[in-house]
Structure formats: C-alpha cells, structure tokens
Copies of this chain bind each other. A is one copy, B any other.
Amino acid sequence: MSRLDSMIRRLMSQRASLDWAVGAVAGLAGPVLEFGLGNGRTYDHLRTHLPGRDIFVFDRHVAAHPDCVPPEDRMILGDFRETAPAAAKRFAGQAALVHADVGSGDLAASRALAAELAPYWAAMLADGGLLISDQPIVRDDLLVLPHPEVLPGRYFICRRVARDDAHGLRLQRERSSLPPCGLGDRM
C-alpha cells in the first residue's frame, strides 16, 4: 500500500468517525473541543456539520488555510501539555465531543503524547460524550466503540462512561483485561 493509499484510508476513516459522532452527539449539549487544527480540514468539517455548536480548537500555532481559522476567542494556542490541564478545569464534564488529532510522523512520541493527554480529555467530556482520536486510548472510563467504516488502527472512537455508572466501568475494566481482539485466538 502506497502513502497515497494510506492517506486516503486515513482521511476516510477520520471522516467516517466524525460523521458518526456528529449524529451521535445531536442530543448531547456541550462544546466540541479539537486538539490539532493543522490545515483546518476537520475543523471545517465539524463547523459545517455542527452549526451553532461552540467549537474550541487547540494547537501550538495557526497554520490553517485562511478560510479555516477559528475565531480568536475559540483558538487556544500553546503546547497541548500546557493548555490541556487548564482546559480540563474550564470544560470539566462539559464537552459533547473531543476530536484529538495529535499524531506526528513519530509513532512512539504520538502514542506517548496521547497517553499523557487522555486523562484530561476524559475529564473534559460530559457523561456519554465522545472522544474521536487518531491514537488508540486505553482507559477504564472510555469505552471503545468499533465502527464498520473506520479501519482498525487508523482512527478510534470512545464514549465517556457515565461517572456514576459503576456497572459500565466494571464491564469496561473486564474488557480491558482481555487480550486484544484476535490475539487471544493464537494463544
């Protein structure tokens, strides 16, 4: 598979995740938070499909197409590791959707960054809110949801378990202790 094929698969998985999330959060109030503006493609997609929804975007700097730059009061500039803790307090339990597209060419660094930010994302999300991520996230309070149009390993959908849902949390914990899908068959 060439890098062109790979990019198309990534973008289609990304779009399928976001399109599903747009429908899934229709009945859930709260802002959308995006970590990683990049060139503004997904910000444009989210604002197109979620008109009227507050969208706050985090990135180190603005390098987006001029048409896709968020308003100044919705753009939080800085290193994610520095802006996420304050955002977790500001948006605690409020976000309907967090879209985290924080990966770089360095896989290990990308995974490490996402693992470090995940507790903040979980804190920002409302009960039942969604985390759409370009990195896999393993947490008791984030239930991984498969999606037929999202290629495994390319994009990830998680739902925030309700904070008082001890049953859901236990179920998720039990699932997390199992070997990953497919691996068990060979053991």
Chain B residues near A8 (CB-CB < 8 A): 8, 11-12, 15
Q: Considering the complex, which residues of chain A in the window 122-148 have a beta carbon less than 8 Å from any beta carbon of chain B?
A: none
- B41 contacts A2, CB within 8 Å? yes
What is the interface residue range for chain A against chain B?
20 to 34
Chain B residues near A93 (CB-CB < 8 A): none
Q: Is A48 an interface residue (CB 8 A)?
A: yes
Decide: A15 near B11, CB < 8 A? Known: A65-B105, A105-B65. Answer: no
Q: Considering the complex, which residues of chain A in the window 36-67 have a beta carbon less than 8 Å from any beta carbon of chain B?
A: 39-42, 44-45, 48-49, 65, 67
- B105 contacts A5, CB within 8 Å? no
- A4 contacts B45, CB within 8 Å? yes
- B2 contacts A45, CB within 8 Å? yes
The chain A residues found within 8 Å of chain B, CB to CB, are 2-5, 7-8, 11-12, 14-15, 18, 39-42, 44-45, 48-49, 65, 67-68, 105
Q: List 17 A-B contacts (CB under 8 A).
A: A2-B41, A2-B44, A2-B45, A2-B48, A2-B49, A3-B39, A3-B40, A3-B68, A4-B15, A4-B41, A4-B42, A4-B45, A5-B15, A8-B8, A8-B11, A8-B15, A11-B11
